[in-house]
A and B are shown apart, each in its own frame.
Chain A
């Protein structure tokens, strides 16, 4: 009975009319031990099919993520920002003359100028008192020179005394 069924299935199989389930049945039959002698030649075919199903792909595939791309561009952006900073330092502010400012601002400006002038005056005074100090240091230098004359003199007298 089984044989009859298998033969029918095989005929359908050859005409490509079997369903996947029927093909699984056939495969199961030919994988079993008791295959009828006159169907023996089908055996390697079905065995081959089920064996090649087991072949596997074992190589690794290098999957690169492209996260690093963003970081590369950050440095470029930083340089661009710096360049903009260098070449356009005062964006949007034109140079004005004193007359264009409001009277209050003008007054403030003059007052500041005055105060700074006073400050510089006192600095100058300080500088002139430094001048007297430098005079004193000159006198010191002269004194030192004279002292060196004296040491020379004493050396000569020592020599004379030795003789």
Chain B
């Protein structure tokens, strides 16, 4: 497989890999590193991936596993670089700006979801994959995915509703 073939193979889903990585790792730099790592892994195994039926699903599974490993190792080292553990309640300028922006709320709410639900919302609501595809990627059955997705959507709606009606988080 030539470089050009490989690039055209990964082109349709490299952004999806990046967005999933960013959803899980939060920081943009971390997500970029993870994406690069995954694309290089694919490149190294380029002879083998031709045999896979669905390279995209395979790559998404790889991304999910890679990012979860990354998070686990970071927690083990007690070194969380992501800014979600930033507990300064004296609203900083950054936070004020984000609070004004209602889309910032959604991103905040999604950060608080459990990892499994984050992945499912990302794959379904943002990347718009079929349930069968998601089931393959995550190695789960469709019912479990629906349950998780429903929970996630309800949580997001609830929190959004609260913010919307009271203006508090």
Interface residues of chain A, those whose CB is within 8 Å of chain B, are: 13-17, 20, 23-24, 40-45, 47-49, 51-53, 55-57, 59, 61-63, 65
A45 x B156 contact (CB < 8 A)? yes
Q: A57-B35, A63-B43 are in contact. Are A47 and B161 (CB under 8 A)?
A: no
Residues of B within 8 A of A20 (CB): 128, 130
Please name the residue on chain B nearest to A47 by beta carbon. Answer: B103
13 contacts across the A-B interface (CB closer than 8 A) = A16-B147, A23-B128, A41-B161, A44-B106, A48-B106, A51-B103, A52-B107, A55-B19, A57-B17, A59-B32, A61-B43, A63-B3, A63-B40
Per DSSP, chain A at the interface is helix
Contacts A16-B149, A51-B103, A65-B3; A41 near B32 (Cβ below 8 A): no
Which chain A residue shows the least CB distance to B17? A57
A56–B106 CB distance below 8 A: no
Distance A45 CA – B130 CA, assembled complex (angstroms):
20
B7 proximity list for chain A (CB < 8 A): 63
CB pair A59 B126 closer than 8 Å: no
Binary interface profile of B, 98-136, with partner A (CB < 8 Å = 1, else 0)?
000011011100000000000000001111101000000
Is A17 within 8 A of B17, CB to CB? no
**Which residues of A have CB within 8 Å of B124?**
16
Q: Which residue of A lies closest to B32 (CB)?
A: A59
Which B residues fall within an 8 A CB radius of A? 3, 6-7, 14-15, 17-19, 22, 32, 35-36, 39-40, 43, 102-103, 105-107, 124-128, 130, 145-147, 149-150, 153-154, 156-157, 160-161, 163-165
- Nearest-Cβ distance from residue A46 to partner chain B, whole angstroms: 8
Residues in chain A near residue B102, CB distance under 8 A: 43-44
Q: Kindly list 12 other residue pairs between chains A and B, CB separation below 8 angstroms, not including A13-B153, A14-B154.
A: A14-B153, A16-B145, A17-B146, A20-B128, A24-B128, A44-B106, A47-B103, A52-B19, A52-B107, A53-B126, A57-B32, A63-B7
List the B side residues contacting A15 at CB < 8 Å: 146, 150
Residue of B nearest to A40 (CB): B164
A41: chain B residues at CB < 8 Å are 157, 160-161, 163-165
Q: Which residue of A lies closest to B29 (CB)?
A: A59
In the bound complex, do residue B150 and residue A16 qualify as a contact, i.e. CB atoms below 8 Å apart? yes
